[in-house]
Amino acid sequence: MPLIKEKSPHVRLCIVNPTRTTTNSVPGVISDEAREMATKVASVHVIVFGTGRPNVIKLSHNALLHTVPFQMPENHLRLPTFAIGQLRTFSIVLKVVLRSDVNLIRADDPILTGLVAAVISKSCRLPFVLFLGGNPAEIARVKLRFSNTRVVQRTLMLSLIRLLQRIVIRLSDLVITVNEELAAMSQQLGAKQVLIVEPYLDLRKFVPAAKPEGRRFRVMYVGRLEPEKGILDLLAAARSLASENIEFVIAGGGSLAPALNFATRSQADLSKVRLLGPVNHDAMPELYHQADVVVLPSYTEGAPVAVFEAMASGCPVVATRVGNLPTLFRDEVEIMFVATADPQDLASKLRTLCVNDNLRKELVRNAWLKTSNLFGSYLEAHIKSYSRLISAMG
């Protein structure tokens, strides 16, 4: 994995991330990134949503995690709750920026954190970087399609989200994104500069291991339990495979969790589906090692980190053609693609992998080689961009 030979001691970074966390817990991916980033720069401050009172957690000697005392609901489209979240985020970010001598702000979502970060960065005359891992307008469109929202209200919500997205992208000094589609969208919306970088992946944390033997074939899903993630299609596939020696493990939380809990407890054809709820990120490597296949039946993605973690951990992946997956991986070489919103196709591919041990091993070998070569330039690309922007601001 390429390493940064020189540090950038003049970079003092504040990352405003939409991750939700609970009292005294440390969110996984962003904390791992912050710790590693802090070994290359002067300081890193990460701001996330939390519960209870504002809290500060020490990640390393020069990396701190700050929590905004607000738990953003899954349906962040509700304007009153959205406004409250923005005001509380503004207060925490401004305090961190002023007290910690931050010289660059990065937002990891244009809607939930981007507007606050943009306003503060421009007010304080700091460079503003937007990290765009997905298309919020498209995610909202899919989410609303599954909701009972009236057409007029749906149209107004989407218009507001698209307007906010356009404003934040135009205010950014640099948009860092994860695929060509999002880069083209950013340029179309008026981005000054766009850089494509693969997402962060800790290749020291996610490594292959031997699979357990003598149990049912295990299919695992990792992610939010939301309509746009295709979780209902996964349940439909599980129903059609109920008579086979296949079990399903679902890790994550979200608005569909109560309905899924009820369904798996009350319906016989879902008796082999187990819900783990939210899982600490440090426990994820072991979960991947316990899985025979990881599945992502999503309707929209940018760069699905769970897929890359699974591949690095030696798991074959079945996924829809979303985000940057079709450009990075070849069907039936490094990944198995399925049609979107097609539970029968998903069940068929899972059945194939269950009985074809050679195909699983081939997918694992090819995907591991690909991910090992892909995910090494993230920190170097980001830090070089930050240093350039800070120097340009004088």
Q: What is the pLDDT of residue 121?
A: 97
Residues of the chain with CATH 3.40.50.2000: 8-200+376-393, 217-374
Amino acid at 199: P
Confidence band (pLDDT; 50, 70, 90) for 251?
very high
Q: pLDDT exceeding 70 applies to what percent of the chain?
A: 94
Q: What is the pLDDT of residues 109-147, one digit of tens each?
A: 999 899 999 999 999 999 999 999 999 888 888 878 877
Percent helix / strand / coil, the chain, rounded to 5: 45, 20, 35
Rounded to the nearest 10°, the torsion over CA 124, 129, 133, 137 is 60
Confidence band (pLDDT; 50, 70, 90) for 252?
very high
Q: What is the pLDDT of residue 147?
A: 75
pTM attached to this predicted model: 0.89
- Mean local confidence (pLDDT), 146-154: 78
pLDDT at 47 over 70: yes
Confidence band (pLDDT; 50, 70, 90) for 2?
very low
Beta bridge partners of 350: none
Q: Are 246 and 220 in contact (CB under 8 A)?
A: no
CATH class of 217-374: alpha beta
Amino acid at 159: S
pLDDT at 193 over 80: yes
Q: What is the pLDDT of residue 152?
A: 82
Q: What is the pLDDT of residues 75-90, one digit of tens each?
A: 455 677 778 888 989 9
List, edge to edge, every strand of the sheet that includes 174-177: 55-60, 63-69, 41-50, 8-20, 104-107, 128-132, 174-177, 194-196
Q: pLDDT exceeding 90 applies to what percent of the chain?
A: 73
Q: What is the pLDDT of residues 338-351, one digit of tens each?
A: 999 999 999 999 99
Q: Are 218 and 292 in contact (CB under 8 A)?
A: yes
The DSSP string of 119-140 is: HHHHHTT--EEEEE-S-HHHHH
Q: Does domain 8-200+376-393 have CATH number 3.40.1160.10?
A: no
